Chain A
């Protein structure tokens, strides 16, 4: 079945350093979309990025990701982390069964320190 793997459970880093969160996926659906959702403390999870076409970079709020179908990956990157980036980040996949919503990875908690 469909699955999403996020290798890192926790990422801690110093403000100003780059950050990359890994996301790989498995699906039989050739036109699957990948997403990054962000969940700040005491807020609702919300959409951060949605994949575009294969090998095309998509950007929002300083974050960017590129869908690579050849490696089934959609890694999230930012060149300079800010304290306000501390949150829980979920990678998600639109599953083969459209009605079932999205399949989420386990999430990566990012903690940015001064």
Chain B
């Protein structure tokens, strides 16, 4: 059973539209992360959270918001999607120094 589930698995959005990517974990982990994957840039941290109702900015937070309404759920929100946000997004939960990733969401902004 997948312990970190992302939805949707893929999405096409229009420039300027709002996009919400969802992540649900059953690992009972406190820490959760959103990473962005781009060819030539590796995995870059967007936002993270270590407790419900609190989020922190990562290395590339501009253009993104995050929400952690419960320990299990962590969302990434693009209020005004832009072409440059086309990428694959990964959610992860963490236990000690091991990250457990979801399957990823492929986002295309047109």
Q: Which A residues lie at the B interface, using CB under 8 A?
A: 9, 33, 35, 37, 43-47, 50, 90, 94, 99-102, 104-107
Contacts and interface: CB of A to CB of B under 8 A. Distances in A.
Taking chain B's interface residues, is the majority helix, strand, or loop, or is none over half, making it mixed? strand
Given A33-B97, A50-B97, A99-B56, A104 B48 contact: no
Contacts of A9: 40
A106 B41 contact: yes
A59 to B, nearest CB: 17
Taking chain A's interface residues, is the majority helix, strand, or loop, or is none over half, making it mixed? loop
A16 to B, nearest CB: 28
Given A101-B45, A101-B94, A106-B40, 18 more contacts: A33-B97, A43-B103, A44-B4, A44-B102, A44-B103, A45-B43, A46-B101, A50-B97, A99-B48, A99-B56, A100-B48, A100-B56, A101-B31, A101-B33, A101-B99, A102-B97, A102-B99, A106-B41
